[in-house]
């Protein structure tokens, strides 16, 4: 005969809710309900939204900040353009919330969202952000509270950009991008030659030379077009906002073997030999170290219990 035993497990006591917390919860619920009600009662004017977007994207001040450019990640609409389009579209709430921060693990949990309160279309992203920053291709830990906060907000801003763009109509965003590109190419009314000179002077302040810019654009300075100047404006803005690095956008020119090895003479038959004899190496391309101090090479060490060989 078996006898069943019942064990009682003590459940944790519920955490008491303070009056302030209860009031804040009620206020948040009422605030959301009121926002939805106002959005339903005051729907957006589509024609006015399109007209305001075209007018805003026709201003050079916004157009110059409308795009980002990052090496190996391409270009696209910036968070500045996304926020401006959200303001023009109306009845759209967006933001970044830091849900949790673990200083021991060096990790924060972030949530970015965008919510069209009129159509009830919502886009959100929840992700973890390490308390680290990339410096010279390596991860650098962040310990200062201000640095951690700024790092979280910086990455959160990129995420909220994506949620806003996912909420807005695609043709609305594409029209805004096209208008901004036209505005950048048109410039502020200056002739193209003056805008080229302004961009050269701006990059010179960052230590970027004209040959480096020419290598990126793959054409000489006298052949630059308005589209090239517009591209340079985007790159310059990304560098100034620390979204891109100079050495990534303008890598140094590769050094030829003749500049490394004095007296270098390429073998004219190197290509034929490499095809006929696999593993062939052109000896003229090998770099031989040069003794800068003109010191003699050390003598050969004697062999134990024997003569020098």
Give the pLDDT of residue 309.
Answer: 45
Give me Rg for the CA atoms of the chain: 31
Instruction: Over range 263-281, report the average pLDDT.
Output: 57
Q: Which residue has the higher pLDDT, 225 or 257?
A: 225
Of the residues 215, 249, 283, the one at which a domain ends: 249
Verify that 38 and 110 share a domain, yes or no: yes
* Structure tokens that stand for 122 in this block: 């919502």
Separation of alpha carbons 150 and 128, rounded Å: 15
- The whole-model pTM stands at 0.65
Of the residues 149, 176, 203, the one at which a domain ends: 176
Give the pLDDT of residue 274.
Answer: 54
Per-residue pLDDT reduced to its tens digit, 35-69: 777 777 778 999 999 999 999 999 988 998 898 88
Verify that 121 and 87 share a domain, yes or no: yes
Domain-embedded: residue 283: no
Verify that 195 and 78 share a domain, yes or no: no
Domain-embedded: residue 265: no
- Do the Cβ atoms of 254 and 271 come closer than 8 Å? no
Domain-embedded: residue 214: yes
Domain holding 192, by residue range, is 187-249
Verify that 47 and 149 share a domain, yes or no: yes
Interior CA angle at 159 toward 77 and 50, to 5°? 40
Give the pLDDT of residue 139.
Answer: 86
Rounded alpha-carbon distances, angstroms, from residue 86 to 40, 54, 91, 142, 281 = 17, 14, 8, 32, 60
Domain-embedded: residue 148: yes
Counting residues of the chain whose pLDDT is more than 70, the rounded percentage is: 76
Separation of alpha carbons 104 and 120, rounded Å: 38
Verify that 220 and 137 share a domain, yes or no: no
Per-residue pLDDT reduced to its tens digit, 60-109: 889 988 988 877 677 889 999 999 999 999 999 999 999 999 988 999 99
Per-residue pLDDT reduced to its tens digit, 280-292: 455 555 544 544 4
Of the residues 249, 275, 301, the one at which a domain ends: 249
Give the pLDDT of residue 159.
Answer: 94
């Amino acid at each position: 005969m078996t006898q069943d035993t019942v064990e009682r497990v003590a459940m944790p006591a519920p955490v008491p809710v303070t009056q302030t917390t209860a009031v804040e919860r009620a206020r948040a619920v009422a605030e959301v309900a009121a926002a939805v009600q106002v959005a339903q009662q005051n729907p957006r004017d589509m024609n006015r939204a399109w007209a305001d977007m075209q007018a805003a994207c026709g201003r050079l001040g916004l157009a110059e900040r409308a795009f980002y450019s990052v090496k190996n990640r391409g270009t696209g609409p910036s968070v500045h353009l996304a926020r401006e389009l959200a303001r023009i579209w109306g009845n759209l709430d967006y933001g970044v919330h830091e849900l949790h921060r673990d200083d021991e693990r060096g990790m924060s949990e972030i949530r970015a969202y965008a919510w069209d309160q009129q159509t009830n279309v919502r886009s959100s992203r929840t992700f973890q952000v390490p308390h680290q920053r990339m410096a010279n291709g390596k991860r650098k830990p962040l310990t200062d509270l201000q640095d951690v906060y700024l790092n979280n907000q910086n990455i959160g801003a990129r995420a909220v950009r994506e949620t806003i763009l996912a909420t807005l109509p695609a043709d609305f965003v594409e029209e805004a991008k096209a208008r901004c590109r036209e505005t950048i190419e048109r410039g502020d009314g200056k002739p193209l030659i003056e805008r080229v000179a302004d961009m050269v002077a701006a990059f010179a302040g960052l230590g970027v030379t004209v040959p480096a810019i020419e290598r990126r654009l793959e054409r000489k300075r006298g052949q630059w077009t308005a589209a090239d100047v517009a591209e340079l404006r985007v790159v310059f803005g990304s560098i100034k906002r620390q979204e891109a690095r100079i050495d990534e956008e303008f890598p140094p020119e590769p050094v030829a073997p003749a500049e490394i090895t004095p007296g270098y003479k390429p073998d004219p038959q190197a290509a034929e030999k490499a095809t006929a004899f696999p593993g062939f190496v052109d000896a003229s391309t090998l770099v031989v170290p040069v003794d800068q101090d003109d010191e003699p090479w050390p003598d050969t060490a004697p062999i134990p219990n024997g003569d020098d060989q």
